[in-house]
Structure formats: C-alpha cells, structure tokens
C-alpha cells in the first residue's frame, strides 16, 4: 500500500460511514450552508476516528454471488415452512412434537455462526436457542421433531451451513 493510501485510510478509517454521517448531518439540519458542511465534515472525520478502535474485525465475504442464491433459498424455505407450520398449528395439537437438538458447527468465525443461527431462527418451525461458549454447537428448538433428529441436523448442515461456509470461505 502506498504512503498516500495509508495516510488516507488512517484519516478516514471508515469512508462510507464518514460520508453517511455528513449526509445525515446535513439532512438533520436541513441546510447546505458552508458552516454546516464544515462542521459535518469535521464530525464525519472525528467520529469514525474515535470509533475505529472499537471495531471488531469481521471476515470478508469471499463469494458475493453465493449470497444472492443463499437469500433466495432461505426465502423459499421461509415460505414453505410458513405453510407447513400453519397447517401443523391449525391441525390437532397431538401432532406437534417439539424437541431440542444440538447441531455441531464447522464454522470458525462469529459472523458466519451468527448468520447461520439467524437463518435457522428466520425459518418457521425452528428457533436458535443458544450457541455454546466455544461456538462449536448450535442448540435449536424444533416445533415438529421427526423420529430421527439427525434429519434436522443434516438439513441445517447441508442446506445452510455448507452455503455459509462457501460465502465466507471458512
């Protein structure tokens, strides 16, 4: 990295945030006067500088095009699961067999684990109950547990976790 780009990244550690802060400042004040532009620019530089040490490093998305297919798969699953849960809830209560399972995780960073847990929670009929302290297990509450709990574990691992691993390159 050149000296100029290092200096620029030191001055503006989060350029998008700085730009958005300036825009929000000007919108809140409903004016584009020179004083507000200067004050907003100073705030847009100082606030990210003060917040930079608080940032937690997050893994980068290695395969952004996979995110699009993942979103469509999750949306389809949400629609299908909504219908299944509605039919299950409207029917006789004795058909509901709730259960709790532990899904072993192969993901290594906090963000991918969070994305997987959120995906499981967004899909009706399942809720991420807890992530173990070592982030090796995801505990999931299932509304209608099949006889073989391994089916649910395999579904989560093959349908969601494998794709999250691809997206983040874990």
Residues 37, 88, single domain; the answer is: no
Query: Which pLDDT band, with edges at 50, 70 and 90, does 110 fall under?
Result: confident
Residues 12, 40, single domain; the answer is: yes
Q: Is residue 139 part of a domain?
A: yes
Quick one: pLDDT at residue 103? Answer: 94
Residues 86, 158, single domain; the answer is: yes
Residues 82, 117, single domain; the answer is: yes
Mean pLDDT value across residues 85-104: 86
Query: Which pLDDT band, with edges at 50, 70 and 90, does 156 fall under?
Result: very high
Q: What is the DSSP string of 109-163?
A: SHHHHHHHHHHHHHSTTEEEEEE-TTS-EEEEEESS--SSTHHHHHHIIIIIIHH
Residue labelled with tokens 């995906």: 119
Residues 50, 85, single domain; the answer is: no
Residues 44, 96, single domain; the answer is: no
Residues 45, 73, single domain; the answer is: no
**Please, what is the Cα angle at 100 between 85 and 139, to 5 degrees?**
105
- Alpha-carbon gap, residue 81 to 87, rounded angstroms: 10
Residues 47, 72, single domain; the answer is: no
- Six-digit token string for 63: 């395969």
Residues 28, 98, single domain; the answer is: no
pLDDT tens for residues 27-40?
999 888 999 999 99
Q: Is residue 82 part of a domain?
A: yes
Range of the domain at 92: 64-168
- Alpha-carbon gap, residue 116 to 156, rounded angstroms: 9
Integer angstrom CA distances of residue 7 from 4, 33, 37, 48, 90 = 5, 29, 23, 15, 62
**pLDDT exceeding 90 applies to what percent of the chain?**
51
For residues 100 and 144, the model is more confident at: 100
Residues 48, 74, single domain; the answer is: no
pLDDT tens for residues 28-72?
998 889 999 999 999 998 998 888 888 777 778 888 899 999 999
The pTM for the full model equals: 0.71
Residues 134, 74, single domain; the answer is: yes
The tally of domains found in the chain comes to 2
Residues 88, 43, single domain; the answer is: no
């Amino acid at each position: 990295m050149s000296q100029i780009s290092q200096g620029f990244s030191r001055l503006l550690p989060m350029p998008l945030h700085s730009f958005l802060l300036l825009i929000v400042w000007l919108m809140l004040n409903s004016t584009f006067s020179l004083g507000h532009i200067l004050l907003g620019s100073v705030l847009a530089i100082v606030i990210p500088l003060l917040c930079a040490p608080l940032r937690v490093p997050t893994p980068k998305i290695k395969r952004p095009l996979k995110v699009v297919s993942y979103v469509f798969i999750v949306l389809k699953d949400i629609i299908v699961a909504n219908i299944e849960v509605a039919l299950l809830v409207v029917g006789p209560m004795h058909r509901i067999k709730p259960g709790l399972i532990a899904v072993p995780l192969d993901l290594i960073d906090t963000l991918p684990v969070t994305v997987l847990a959120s995906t499981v929670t967004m899909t009706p009929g399942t809720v991420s109950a807890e992530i173990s302290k070592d982030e090796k297990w995801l505990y999931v509450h299932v509304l209608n547990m099949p006889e073989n709990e391994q089916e649910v574990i395999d579904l989560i691992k093959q349908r969601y976790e494998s794709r999250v691993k691809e997206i983040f390159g874990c």
